Amino acid sequence: MIKNLINELKDKKIVILGFGREGRDTLLFLKKLFPKKKIGIADRKLSKDYLKNLDKYDVIIKSPGIPFKILPRSVLGRITSQTEIFFDNCPGKIIGITGTKGKSTTASLIYDILKAGKIKAHLVGNIGKPVLNLLPSAPFAAARVKDVYVYELSSFQLTNLKKSPHIAVLLNIYQEHLDYYRSFKEYAQAKANITLHQTKDDFLIYNSTDKLVSQIAKKTKAKIIPIKGGYYNLDRQAAKKVGKLFKIPKEKIEKAINNFKPLPHRLEPVGTYRGVTFYNDSLATIPEATIAALDILGDRVETIFLGGFDRKIDFKGLAKRVLQSKIKNIILFPTSGKRIWEALRLTSFAQGKKLPKHYFLDNMQKAVKLAYKYTGKGKICLLSCASPSFGLFKDYAERGDLFKKYVKKFGISKR
């Protein structure tokens, strides 16, 4: 398989478009195949004109974070990706997992279940390792046909993909990444690629309670396996179905699930300090995730952190849920914080409900101090922003880590 790839690329001029984690992995892989070949690199951090010379190359290996909509039409036919190269050359089986939310936990659970069943599995993609350097060279490919690759697939990785995994898991589709795609429809079409190219010998495990996911499932050629469950239960249901397909004993599946350690920044308990219980739900980057957190934690939530990078998502549903709660204090981060507050204000006026107190802040340290000041003992302070973190923070992990840092710092300090 690698031999075919070498023959395909040996006489081609290649450029790596986007030089982040995946781009660097791609360069290492290509240097192993072609030690003397000059590989081009196009990245915004290296040059503001990084898209200017793409026409000079025969093959463009695009990183997921580069939107198709910014690329010249003349180069679209030359674009491939790590994901596409891996799918074309992988000797083993691929389990692909996607969804607006829940894919990392689901992929991790599936990986643990496969390991419990003594199956040689690899956790790759968004949550695991970049994939190309896992491709075995020709002498070893035959020995790896029984290997299973648990691949967490973002919509970016699925866009333009011309192959689908042997087992596809489709959890949910909510409004997200509307800054990257031309429309929500285009985003949903990218997600649908996980099953679009499946055959009757493949499997689609899908959330039958999600209307859009169910519509996609109706069009697949794969064998369909429906699942149901709440927002925080779908991952377990999907993982169990995968374990069953691999004929892993039920008791081993249950043990793997029971021993699973939840991933950070997903409704993560930080602790109780000065009588206030804190939860870090920094990965709640869409309203549905925040609504699910409020449904689980209930009326003890008195203070909530909302807002962040603005992807022009509709906040009406979030506003209704917040006004149904016992929340007294809302800390709002830029820039979507202003739109969230406007949605709350309009919904409050329409329903005749009293608004909570609100505070516009652009600093996590000040925000946590304020939370300690106004949250009552026995109550909950929740970081669940319903927006991505970019702008104020590097990513959701930095946002969550800073929250935890200041919660603990001010929790053990004197008033």
Q: Classify residue 234 by burial, with Cβ atoms within 10 Å: 0-12, 13-18, 19+.
A: buried
- The mean per-residue pLDDT over the stretch 385-412 comes to 96
As annotated, the residues of the chain forming the CATH 3.40.1190.10 domain(s) are 83-258
For every residue of 368-414, DSSP letters joined together read: HHHHHHHSPTT-EEEE--SS--BTTBSSHHHHHHHHHHHHHHHHHS-
Condensed to tens digits (0 to 9), the pLDDT of residues 11-24 reads 999 999 999 999 99
Percent of the chain with pLDDT over 70: 97
Going by their DSSP bridges, the two strands 276-280 and 268-273 should be labelled as antiparallel
Mean pLDDT of 363-370: 98
Phi/psi at 123 (nearest 5 deg)?
A: -95, 115
pLDDT by residue (tens digit) across 177-221?
988 999 999 999 999 999 999 999 999 999 999 999 999 999 999
Q: Helix, strand or coil for residue 101?
A: coil
| Of residues 134, 125, 65, 132, the one with CA closest to residue 97 | 125
Portions of the chain given CATH number 3.90.190.20: 268-412
Tell me the average pLDDT across 233-243. Answer: 97
Q: Which CATH number fits domain 83-258: 1.20.1070.10, 1.10.3720.10, 1.10.1270.20, 3.40.1190.10?
A: 3.40.1190.10
The tally of CA atoms less than 13 A away on the side-chain side of residue 99 is 27
pLDDT confidence of residue 288: 97
Segment (H or E) for 124: strand 121-125
Position 2 confidence tier, pLDDT thresholds 50, 70, 90? confident
Q: Collect all residues with Cβ–Cβ distance below 8 Å to 24 and sequence separation of at least 6.
A: none
Q: Is the pLDDT of residue 158 over 80?
A: yes
pLDDT in tens, 97-145: 999 999 999 999 999 999 999 999 999 988 867 788 888 765 556 667 8
Can you tell me the distance from the alpha carbon of 15 to that of 79, in angstroms, rounded to the nearest whole number? Answer: 10
Q: How far is CA 176 from the centre of its chain?
A: 10
Q: Percent of the chain having pLDDT more than 90?
A: 89
Can you read off the two tokens belonging to residue 375? 């949250």
Numbered ranges of CATH 3.40.50 in the chain: 2-80
pTM: 0.94
- In three-state secondary structure terms, 20 is coil
- Which pLDDT does position 143 carry in this prediction? 62
Q: What is the pLDDT of residue 140?
A: 58
Q: Average the pLDDT over each of 75-79, 122-126, 164-168, 271-275 and give the range with the smallest value.
A: 122-126
Q: Let me know if 118 is exposed, middle or buried by CB neighbors in 10 A (0-12, 13-18, 19+).
A: exposed
Residue environment code for 252-279, b if the CB has 16+ CB neighbours within 10 A, otherwise e: ebeebbeebeeeebbbbebeebeebbbb
Strand 380-383 versus strand 276-280 pairing type? parallel
What's the token pair of residue 208? 């039958």
pLDDT for position 137: 63
Residue range 89-105, pLDDT digits in tens: 998 999 999 999 999 99
Nearest-angstrom CA–CA distance, 186 and 191: 9
pLDDT of residue 142: 63
What is the three-class DSSP state of 144?
A: helix
Q: Is the dihedral of CA 107, 109, 114, 118 positive or negative?
A: positive
The CA distance from 61 to 358, in Å, is 46
Instruction: From 121, 117, 94, select the one nearest 244 (Cα to Cα).
Output: 117
Chain segment 323-341, per-residue pLDDT in tens: 999 999 999 999 999 999 9
Q: What is the pLDDT of residues 167-179, one digit of tens each?
A: 999 999 999 998 8
The single residue listed with the structure tokens 């005749």 is 352
pLDDT at 37 > cutoff 70 = yes
Class of domain 2-80: alpha beta
Q: What would the mean pLDDT of 272-280 be, rounded to a whole number?
A: 97
Question: What is each CA distance from 69 to 159, 178, 191, 250, in whole angstroms?
Answer: 12, 12, 17, 46
C-alpha span between 102 and 233 (Å, rounded): 9
Classify 256 as helix, strand or coil: helix
Is the per-residue pLDDT at 285 higher than 60?
yes
Q: Does domain 268-412 have CATH number 3.60.15.10?
A: no
Q: What is the DSSP string of 163-191?
A: ---SEEEE----S--TTTSSSHHHHHHHH
Confidence of residue 165 (pLDDT cuts 50, 70, 90): very high
Q: What does the pLDDT average to over 30-43?
A: 96
- The one-character DSSP state at 95 is E
Mean pLDDT, the chain, integer: 94
- The confidence band for 415, taking pLDDT boundaries of 50, 70 and 90, is very low
